[in-house]
Amino acid sequence: MSPKFTRNAISNIKSTGTFFPSSRFLANKISRLIPDNVTNVVELGAGNGAVTKSLLAHMSADASLDCYEINAEFIKLLKNNVSDERLTILERSALEIANDFGNDAIDVVVSCLPLALFNDSMKEELMAEIHKSLKPGGLFIQYQYSLKDRKFINKYFAKNTLKFVLRNAPPAFIYLCEK
C-alpha cells in the first residue's frame, strides 16, 4: 500500500471515497471483464494507477487508455508510477467525457469514482455523459462498496450484471453494464 496514496486519500476523503487504493484482485477482476478486441478504454478517477496498470496489462498493444483524474497529487503519482505510450492522462473532470470523445465513440468506460459521495444531480449528469459517449454495445464498468446507487446505474444501463470482490479493502461490487 502506498503511504502517499493513503495520506492524500485521508486528507481528501470527500473526493476519494476510500483510504486504500484498489487491490490487485479488484483491478484484475475489472480488467478481465474487458473484451480483447476493444480499441479505446476510458478510466474515470484513475487515482494512483492501481487499476490503470492492470487495464494496460490486459489491453491489446494497439488499444488506447485515457484516464481522467482531478486530484493533483494523484496525477503526480500516476505519472510517476505508470509509463506506457498507450496512456493519456486527462487532468479534468469526468463530466467532460462526452465533450472530449463525442457520442457513441468509446468501447469501454471504467469508473473508479465514489458515486456514494456524489449528489443525485451529479450522478444523473455523470451517468448521462457516460451513456452518451459509449458506442452501441459498449461497456460501462463501475465498482462500489455498496449497492446504494444501483437505481442510477439501472436507469441508464438496464442490461447489467453484478460481480463481487471480497479481497479488497473494503470488499467491492462491480457493475458490468452494456449500452
| C-alpha to C-alpha distance for 83 and 67, rounded to whole angstroms | 13
What does pTM read for this prediction? Answer: 0.89
Question: Grid coordinates in use for 175?
Answer: 457493475
The parent domain of residue 76 ranges over 3-178
| Amino acid of residue 57 | A
Crossing angle of the two packed helices 72-81 and 3-11, in degrees rounded to 10: 160
| Amino acid of residue 69 | E
- Number of compact structural domains in the chain: 1
Tell me the CATH number at 163: 3.40.50.150
Q: What is the pLDDT of residues 101-154, one digit of tens each?
A: 999 999 999 999 999 899 999 999 999 999 999 999 999 999 999 999 998 899
Q: What is the pLDDT of residues 11-60, one digit of tens each?
A: 544 444 444 678 999 999 999 999 999 999 999 999 989 999 999 999 99
